[in-house]
């Protein structure tokens, strides 16, 4: 199986649940006439946070497989080490991005 086919199968398998839940999401957020910024932020984070966590977990598993498949080859171990550093940095950036909103919200109060 070539790389494009593998990528398409994995991408479809990972995004299929999102597509299914999109059709059965219930109330549409913009149908509420009294939607506040806080509620909008909460809705956005309730959708984005599970996706971000899934990406972090999936990346960690891939890095683990990279280390296990290196079999002592120094070049492959170096690639796996750099990928692990990348996963850690992406995790830190994602956590900072999510925490900045909550820090601003708590600093300015809940009436934004």
- Domain span at residue 95? 34-108
**Cβ–Cβ contacts within 10 Å for residue 57, how many?**
11
**Chain segment 48-103, per-residue pLDDT in tens:** 888 989 999 999 999 999 999 988 888 999 999 999 999 999 999 988 988 888 78
Tokens of 35: 């939607």
| 68 in any annotated domain | yes
| 41 in any annotated domain | yes
Is the separation of the CB atoms in 61 and 110 below 8 Å? no
The pTM assigned to this predicted structure is 0.59
Say how many domains are in the chain.
1
| 71 in any annotated domain | yes
How many angstroms separate the CA atoms of 97 and 95, rounded? 5
| 20 in any annotated domain | no
């Amino acid at each position: 199986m070539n790389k494009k086919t593998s990528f398409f199968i994995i991408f479809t398998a990972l995004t299929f649940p999102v597509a299914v839940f999109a059709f059965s999401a219930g109330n549409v957020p913009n149908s509420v006439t009294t939607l506040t910024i806080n509620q909008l932020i909460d809705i956005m984070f309730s959708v984005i946070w599970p996706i971000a966590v899934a990406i972090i977990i999936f990346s960690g598993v891939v890095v683990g497989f990279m280390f296990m498949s290196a079999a002592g080859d120094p070049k492959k171990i170096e690639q796996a080490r750099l990928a692990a550093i990348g996963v850690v940095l992406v995790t830190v950036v994602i956590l900072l991005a999510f925490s900045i909103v909550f820090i601003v919200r708590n600093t300015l109060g809940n009436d934004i």
